[in-house]
């Protein structure tokens, strides 16, 4: 790790935005020979502290995860907005939404990203950790997500 | 591995189609703190046996790879066509083009995929192995690539 890097170079997650998480999860389960995953729902703003473009949002999503080696495959069905998920579905349609890196120090990683011209566009928490989506599409052609554990 | 599965569930590669591989590779190198990778060019059809939609093609691309944990990040700049790469750039613009799985038995994996409604749309070889892109976007919302080593 250099002083100016994110603290990791390992992709830990690939995530897609989809219209129907059950339907797409069932298709992956069939092709990969994996069990159908549980569908989870992101918590409300008063639990997650979600911020989109700097303001609290009602944006929520339904999620499914597959363990596909050392990276997890995440399927995201936006159910309300505004959010980066719903924006992506409207502007790009279904498809890959982000790739994620698990960072050891979120504040430091965010400072590095901002210094490289990649400010956070949506942030929030989930049980066990927090995340930040970076406005990285113009430079990197895909959105990056930073993930950190609460205890890290 | 079940009789009907691909033979792996581990994602080994995430690949993006880009317009300028040097420019985007430089941006990733800066953000991730990694060295600038060598740019490679796919071989001509008489070397790679590339087939697109069932026919030989002049489609070629310039490639850059980053080792990002157990998955490789691939950047693909189409330089001629037709190919799945150029088609993606025209229809979707820059962004994630495919996720890849390294299969132990290409023929068996292709038979499984075809049985699940995912026929190969482009195939070819590269030094050390061969690949097949599956027509998986309608069902899985992203293109899958199967990779196999020549000796496997």
pLDDT in tens, B83-113: 999 999 999 999 999 999 999 999 999 999 9
Judging contacts by C-beta atoms under 8 Å, the chain A residues touching residue B68 are 9-11
Q: Do A95 and B95 touch (CB under 8 A)?
A: yes
Q: Which residues make Cβ contacts (< 8 Å) with residue A23, sequence separation at least 6?
A: none
Region A50-71: mean pLDDT is 96
DSSP B89-146: HHHH-SEEEEEEEE-S-HHHHHHHHHHTT--EEEEEEETTEEEEEE--HHHHSSEEEE
Does A122 have pLDDT greater than 50? yes
Identify the bridge partners of residue B21 per DSSP, sorted by sequence position.
Answer: none
Helix (H, G, I), strand (E, B), or coil: what is residue B13? strand
Q: At A4, is the pLDDT very low, low, confident or very high (cuts 50, 70, 90)?
A: low
Q: Which one-letter DSSP state was computed for residue A127?
A: T
- The per-residue pLDDT of chain A, averaged, comes to 95
Q: Do B71 and A71 touch (CB under 8 A)?
A: yes
Q: At A150, is the pLDDT very low, low, confident or very high (cuts 50, 70, 90)?
A: confident
pLDDT tens digits along B36-71: 999 999 999 999 999 999 999 999 999 999 999 999
Q: At B139, is the pLDDT very low, low, confident or very high (cuts 50, 70, 90)?
A: very high
Q: What local confidence, expressed as pLDDT, does residue A1 receive?
A: 46
**Best interface-test mutation with B: which of A21, A26, A32, A144 has the largest number of B CBs within 10 A?**
A32
Identity of the residue in B1, B67, B140 whose CB atom sits nearest the CB atom of A27: B140
Give the HSE-up count for residue B26: Cα atoms under 13 Å, Cβ half-sphere: 4
Q: Do A96 and B24 touch (CB under 8 A)?
A: no
Q: At B1, is the pLDDT very low, low, confident or very high (cuts 50, 70, 90)?
A: very low
Number of Cβ within a 10 Å radius of residue A58: 13
- Closest C-alpha to B26, from A147, A141, A98, A104: A141
Q: What local confidence, expressed as pLDDT, does residue A5 receive?
A: 87
Q: Do B10 and A113 touch (CB under 8 A)?
A: no
Identity of the residue in A11, A32, A139 whose CB atom sits nearest the CB atom of B9: A32
Q: At A151, is the pLDDT very low, low, confident or very high (cuts 50, 70, 90)?
A: low
CA distance B27 to A144: 13
B104: its two tokens: 């132990």
Length of chain B: 152
Region A91-117: mean pLDDT is 96
CA distance B58 to B52: 9
Phi/psi at A88 (nearest 5 deg)?
-65, -45
């Amino acid at each position: 790790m250099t002083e100016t890097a994110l603290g990791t170079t390992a992709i830990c997650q690939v995530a897609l935005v989809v219209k129907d998480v059950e339907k797409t999860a069932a298709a992956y389960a069939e092709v990969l020979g994996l069990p159908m995953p549980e569908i989870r729902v992101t918590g409300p703003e008063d639990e997650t502290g979600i911020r989109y473009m700097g303001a609290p949002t009602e944006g929520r999503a339904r999620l499914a995860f597959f363990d596909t080696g050392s990276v997890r495959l995440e399927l995201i069905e936006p159910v309300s907005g505004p959010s980066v998920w719903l924006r992506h579905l409207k502007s790009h349609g279904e498809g890959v939404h982000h790739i994620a890196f698990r960072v050891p120090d979120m504040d430091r990683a965010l400072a590095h990203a901002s210094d490289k011209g990649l400010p956070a566009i949506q942030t929030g928490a989930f049980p066990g950790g927090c995340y930040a989506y970076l406005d990285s599409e113009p430079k990197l052609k895909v959105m990056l997500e930073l993930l950190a554990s609460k205890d890290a």
